[in-house]
A and B are shown apart, each in its own frame.
Chain A
Amino acid sequence: MPSPRPNQLYVIFSLSLVLFLLGLVGLWTFQASYLTRQLQENLDIIVELEVDHTKEQRELLLLELLAADYHQPGSTPEYLPKEQALQEMGEDLERDLDDLGLNNPLLDVITFNVPIVYLQSDSLAAIASELQVKPGVAGVFYQDNFVDRIAANARRLGWVLLGLAALFALVAGLLIHNTVRLSLYANRFTIKTQELVGASWGFISRPYLWRAVGQGLLAGLIALTGVLGLQVWLQSVLPELDLFAEPVRLGFLYGGILLLGLLINFVSHYVVVRRYLRLRLDDLY
Chain B
Amino acid sequence: MAEAIVELRGANIQQGGRNILENVDLRIAPGEFVYLVGKTGAGKSSLLKTLYAALPLGGGSATVAGFNLAKTGRKKIPQLRRKLGIVFQDFNLLMDRSVEENLRFALRATGWKKGTLAEQRIDEVLMAVGLADRRRSMPHTLSGGERQRIAFARALLNSPTLFIADEVTGNLDPDTSKNILELMRKLGKEHGTAVLFATHDYRLLDTFQARVVRCEGGRVFNAEG
**Interface residue ranges, A against B (CB under 8 Å):** 1, 3, 189-190, 192-201, 203-204, 280-281
Contact = CB atoms under 8 A, between A and B. Distances in A.
Interface in B85-107: 86, 92, 94, 96, 105-106
A198 B110 contact: yes
A194 B74 CA distance: 15
A203 B109 contact: yes
B196 to A, nearest CB: 15
Given A1-B105, A3-B96, A194-B109, A200 B52 contact: no
A130 B30 CA distance: 100
Contacts of A197: 81-82, 86, 106, 109-110, 154, 157
Residue of B84, B94, B158 with most partner-chain A CB within 10 A: B94
A133 B158 CA distance: 95
B55 interface: yes
Interface string B46-88: 0001001011000000000000000000110011111010100
Contacts of A280: 54-55
Q: Pick the 3 closest A-B CB pairs, nearest first.
A: A199-B109, A198-B82, A198-B81
| Dominant secondary structure of chain A at its interface with chain B | helix
A1 B92 CA distance: 15
Contacts of B94: 189-190, 193
Interface of B: 49, 52, 54-55, 74-75, 78-82, 84, 86, 92, 94, 96, 105-106, 109-110, 154, 157-158
A221 B165 CA distance: 49
Given A194-B105, A198-B110, 11 more contacts: A1-B105, A193-B92, A196-B86, A197-B106, A197-B154, A197-B157, A198-B109, A198-B158, A201-B74, A281-B49, A281-B54
A209 B179 CA distance: 42
A195 B158 CA distance: 14
A254 B108 CA distance: 39
A187 to B, nearest CB: 10
Nearest to A193: B92
25 contacts: A1-B105, A189-B92, A189-B94, A190-B94, A193-B92, A193-B94, A195-B81, A196-B92, A197-B106, A197-B110, A197-B157, A198-B78, A198-B79, A198-B81, A198-B82, A198-B84, A198-B109, A198-B158, A199-B109, A199-B110, A200-B75, A203-B109, A280-B54, A280-B55, A281-B54
B105 A196 contact: no
A281 B74 CA distance: 16
Contacts of A195: 78, 81
Contact of B81 (A1, A196, A203, A281): A196
Nearest to B154: A197
Given A189-B92, A196-B86, A197-B81, A204 B54 contact: no
A281 B54 CA distance: 8
Nearest to A194: B109
Contacts of B75: 200
Nearest to B96: A3
A198 B110 CA distance: 6
Nearest to B52: A196
Contacts of A198: 78-82, 84, 109-110, 158
